[in-house]
Every structure is written in C-alpha cells, then in structure tokens.
Structure 1
C-alpha cells in the first residue's frame, strides 16, 4: 500500500477505539494492530503518535468539506450564507461527534494548544480559499481569525446539541455570522467617518503594509515529510 492508503487504514481503524480511549497511545497502538500496520511504519507516518493521527483525521474532514464545496453551486447564495454552508459542510464531514469531543480534550492540553489552533486556522483558510477569497493584505488575517472564532464556538455548541437534525446548531451558527456582519458594518462606518479616519491614519497605514503569506512553501527544508509516490 502507498503511504496515503496506510494513513487511511490507520484512521479507519482508530474510529473503533478513539471514542472509548481518546486520542491516546492505547488508541494509536490498537489502530496499528487492527490495520495490520507495523508499529515502526505507523510511527514513521505519525511521528508523535495519536496527536499526529488526530491532526490527520481533522485534515481528512477538511478534504471532504472542500470536495463537497467544489460540487455545490453556491452562486445564488448571499456571501454570509456561503460561509454558513461551508461551516455546516465541515461539521457534517465528521462521522462521529465523540471523536471530535476527544479531539477538543486533546488540543485543550497546554502542550497541544498550538496544534489545535493551527488545525482550526487551516480549516478556515480552506473555507475562504474555496469561496474565492483573493485578499492579500491584513484582511487575509482578520477574515480567518474571525471565522476561526465562529467555527470554534459552533463546534462546541454542536457537541452538546441534541436537537433534530442539529437545527439549534445551524441557528447558533447563523447568529454568530450575523454578529460578524454587524461588526463589519461598524468597521465600514468607522472608515467613512472623517474624524475617526484621521485619528486612525497612523495605525491604518502600518496595517496597510501587512501582506498575506506567500503561497507555495518550500519542501526542501529539514523535517519536511515528502511522499515519494
């Protein structure tokens, strides 16, 4: 099997153990055993064990969301509804809420907070990119930071939602996006206000120099895993 095949087999096998043992060494070892993958190979693919496996599982959900967005015609929707749809697609790409709950617990640990934050940021970056965002200034960052807050709070609400078809979650999501839209309107009014625009001229000039990161990170640096297939 190729590396992607082995990763997929390990993630599939983990689904039987994570809901009970969390994203732990026990789940990692059991997944490798059930998938028939040698421990050394499993560690080569997931050097930090269950942590890297959990991140790979999250990334697989991101991929499902992007694929569904690419297959869906969103042109007739308002932009705020496109964002809501993307977040909903991401949650619906998750087959087991208990695995998400276990992931939230894992990435709440101090040593893994940075990994969890990066995973959420990447999800939101994929959403904005899929929706055609072309910003290359400070807005690139603020869009993803704002959506990260909306996404994170919606996930936590969704984990405790027992309403039919998660209707309460979708209502919560709509309200959070409405809050963001109100904030964007306030920002626009501030820019149009002559007094405020004069007071903020200095800070805005500095922020105006901020640029989005360049695409295409180098893959020839130490520590980079590159598939040979």
Structure 2
C-alpha cells in the first residue's frame, strides 16, 4: 500500500467524546447532501460491516465467556484497526470509487484520542498503523466538542447499559478531549470545530453550514 495518507473530498468524519451529539449531526449532513442530489453512505467505527460489527462487540461488550479476561489496550487498538481495514475494503473505498459521499461516525482520529491519549499507547505506533493499514484521511472532519461533564450527563441519560469505554473515569475522557482538540489545532485544513454544548438544532445548523462552506471552497480550489 502507498504509505502516503490521501485525503478524499467525498469522505467526511465526525469525531467527539461521549454525548457530543454525533447522531443528530450525521443525520443532518445526510439530509443536506441528499437534498443536493448526492448519494450518501452513513457508517460507523468500529463497525460498518458484519465482520467489523462483530469486532465492535468484542471491543465494547465482551462476551460473558471471556468477561474475566480484561482486554489489553494493545489488543483493543489492534482490534479497532482490524475492523477499520475491513470497513475500508467493504464499504468506504467502494462507495468513494462510485462517487458517493461517505459520512462516518468516527475514524482514525478516535484511535489517537481513545487508545492513544486515553489508554496511553504510543501515538507514533498508531500513526504507523494508519499509514500501513488505512492510507486514507477524510477530506473534512467535524469535531463536536463539549465539556466532559455535559457530554457524560447526556450519555448517562441515554444509555441504560454503558459499554466498557463509557464506564471509564472522567480523567480518561479529559485526555480524549484534549487529544481531539490538539489534532484539530494541528490540522486546521481538515478539521472544523463545532460547539456541541448547544441544542440539537444548533448543532445540525452548524455542521451543515460548515459542510456547505467547505464544499464551496473545494469547488474553487
């Protein structure tokens, strides 16, 4: 595989911590793009294919038969990248090749934030996996940023059965948020920061406006 990370203008990812409102934002983006006449593929990570969804279950809700065997941070990272490789092959690349827009709830930036900053794994190792396994960057990444306390309160009100990542402590999510914000600061051409503390209508308006602005810039580039 080419070691360069190639950006694709029809690939949009949404990132953010727990309770940031990505589902609302993704649906708003889909509706706006479809109104412009575009084919839109919505997907998520980990997951997006039958096999990748099974890997997702291992990462987030381990089977009772292995509940006594804690998942190591290294195994978690490699499982996420295994799911991502399948996701790219089966969903993302074919959709982009036929001209569709792909909107993904999380992509590789989440590995830097959750397994890197959150779990304390080497960011350079993640970057090497990204080059070797992925080779692709979204053209646009919308980072839904919200205070950890607000996001966790939303998530707790939504999820009756938190997954194994949602049960982490606040300091874990503070590190995750800081890493997301650092990545946005380091790559301002790709990232757009969205204030996710506002209500759902405000977030939906913000993300569609940013997408429209970005697409207009791409058209004149």
TM-score, normalised with respect to structure 2: 0.32
Whose relative contact order is higher, 1 or 2, with alpha carbons under 8 Å and at least 6 apart?
2
Larger helix fraction of residues = 1
TM-score, normalised with respect to structure 1: 0.31
Larger strand fraction of residues = 2
